[in-house]
């Protein structure tokens, strides 16, 4: 027994030494990585002291990325967020605002198969089926909830036999009075705003500014509309269910397969350093009150024998896998199945 304990202690010390060595190597390479980071992401700082501080944050995040590589199967590394502390990253780029309910909401009666679908397919990407717009970039604004709603409306409009148009998240950010603009919000209240407004303008008519702004909505310029929305599966947003330990990913798979992309909200704090691969890490939480970011599930697939959800983000194409992340299927990773919603596009034109 003593010999076993001794071996474990030696293994622990060796592990710590290896980790320390890797950290030293990271720091020694940090200056070159820092210079490339500034070029790649057009980073400029007001004065030398500010840059010096941001470099220390960058080094801390290099170490954090390496630690995350030890925990999960995905790859972490240098992203555009490496000069931000985790708290700054959360404040500037994450903006889901949880709203608990007294009773569980049930999905509506689901319609038949969508205009395009993945029935019978084990690899599914709705972008290649023409139902998903290109990657957007929310900038330094906690407007993910508005982007998630906007892409849901875009897809719903397409599924209702219209063209796939790029719509305006800025309209929701500036005009939805039930949510907080760049300070955060939620998709159900954003859907309600879109319905009450009669629809959304295009992003060309109402450009994105990454600020709250003053509402400049013009009903005459509405391009697309929805008449309703629903949960894809039963959410876990009540006091009694907020641990979200029993979410129905099998049902979610069926909904995505038959009806198309779904808006979801997740814990994205560990995504700050994500580069590629199927995200599978115990560092990502899944409780309803742990959620902080809203995105869109646009398909599913299998990579090296591992099933995953394909998720479209709103941090631009330089993040992740050209703006996407793959999340392991079946364990409610990052709360992927906590709040699943989609909209119904209006049949009439405006």
At 129-141, the pLDDT tens digits run 999 999 999 999 9
Q: Are 169 and 203 in contact (CB under 8 A)?
A: yes
297 near 311, Cβ under 8 Å?
yes
Same domain, 60 and 119: no
> Is residue 190 domain-shared with residue 279, that is, in the same domain?
yes
Among residues 175, 313, 332, 334, the one annotated as catalytic is 313
Written as six digits, the tokens of 88 are 């700054």
Same domain, 159 and 298: yes
CA count, 13 A, side-chain hemisphere, 33? 21
Residue 79 falls inside a structural domain:
no
Q: Say if 87 falls within a structural domain.
A: no
H helix runs in 216-292, sequence order: 249-259
Taking the C-alpha atoms of residue 89 and residue 278, their distance in angstroms, rounded to an integer, is: 22
Does residue 78 lie in a domain region?
no
Residues 14 and 134 grouped into a single domain: no
Note the pLDDT of residue 27.
Answer: 64
**Active-site residue 293, yes or no?**
yes
Tell me the CA distances in angstroms from 116 to 150, 158, 259, 321, one per residue in order. Answer: 19, 10, 8, 24
Give the ranges where 84-216 is alpha helix by DSSP (H). 86-93, 144-159, 169-175, 187-197
Asked whether residue 61 falls in the same domain as residue 99, the answer is: no
| Catalytic hit among 284, 293, 294, 332 | 293
Express as a percent the part of the chain with pLDDT over 70. 91
Looking at the domain assignment, is residue 42 inside a domain?
yes
pTM of the model: 0.91
pLDDT band at 348 (very low <50, low <70, confident <90, very high): low
Clarify whether residues 39 and 136 are in a common domain.
no
Please pick, among 124, 144, 175, 182, the residue that the annotation labels catalytic.
144
Whether 185 and 294 map to the same domain: the answer is: yes
* Residue 327 domain-assigned (yes or no): yes
| Containing structural domain, residue 220 | 93-345
In the chain, the number of structural domains is 2
Same domain, 97 and 46: no
Does pLDDT of 286 surpass 50?
Answer: yes
Give me the CATH number covering residue 146. Answer: 3.90.70.10
Mark whether 144 is an active-site residue: yes
Instruction: Tell me the pLDDT band of 236, cut-offs 50, 70 and 90.
Output: very high
Is 109 a residue of the active site? no
Question: Do both 323 and 190 map to the same domain?
Answer: yes
């Amino acid at each position: 027994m003593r010999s076993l304990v001794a071996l474990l202690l030696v293994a622990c010390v060796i592990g710590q030494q290896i980790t320390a060595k890797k950290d030293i190597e990271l720091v020694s390479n940090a200056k070159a990585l820092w210079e490339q980071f500034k070029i790649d992401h057009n980073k400029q700082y007001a004065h030398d002291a500010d840059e010096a501080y941001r470099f220390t944050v960058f080094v801390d995040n290099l170490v954090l990325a390496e630690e995350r590589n030890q925990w999960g199967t995905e790859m972490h590394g240098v992203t555009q967020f490496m000069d931000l502390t985790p708290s700054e990253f959360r404040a500037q780029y994450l903006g889901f605002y949880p709203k608990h309910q007294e009773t569980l909401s049930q999905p509506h009666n689901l319609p038949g198969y969508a205009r395009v679908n993945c029935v019978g397919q084990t690899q599914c990407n709705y972008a290649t089926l023409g139902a998903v717009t290109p990657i957007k970039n929310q900038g330094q604004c906690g407007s993910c909830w508005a982007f998630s709603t906007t892409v849901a409306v875009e897809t719903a409009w397409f599924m209702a036999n219209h063209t796939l148009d790029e719509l305006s998240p800025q309209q929701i950010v500036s005009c939805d009075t039930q949510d907080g603009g760049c300070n955060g919000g939620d998709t159900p209240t954003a859907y309600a705003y879109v319905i009450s407004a009669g629809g959304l303008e295009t992003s060309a008519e109402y450009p994105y500014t990454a600020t709250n702004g003053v509402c400049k909505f013009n009903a005459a310029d509405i391009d697309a509309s929805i008449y309703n929305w629903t949960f894809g599966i039963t959410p876990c947003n009540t006091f009694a269910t907020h641990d979200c330990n029993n979410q129905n990913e099998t049902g979610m798979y069926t909904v995505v397969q038959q009806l198309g992309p779904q808006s979801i909200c997740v814990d994205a704090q560990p995504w700050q350093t994500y580069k590629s691969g199927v995200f599978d890490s115990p560092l990502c939480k899944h409780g309803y009150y742990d959620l902080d970011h809203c995105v869109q599930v646009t398909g599913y697939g299998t990579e090296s024998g591992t099933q995953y959800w394909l998720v479209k983000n709103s941090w631009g194409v330089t993040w992740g896998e050209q703006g996407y992340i793959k999340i392991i299927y079946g364990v409610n990773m990052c709360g992927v199945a906590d709040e699943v919603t989609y909209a119904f596009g209006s049949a009439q034109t405006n």
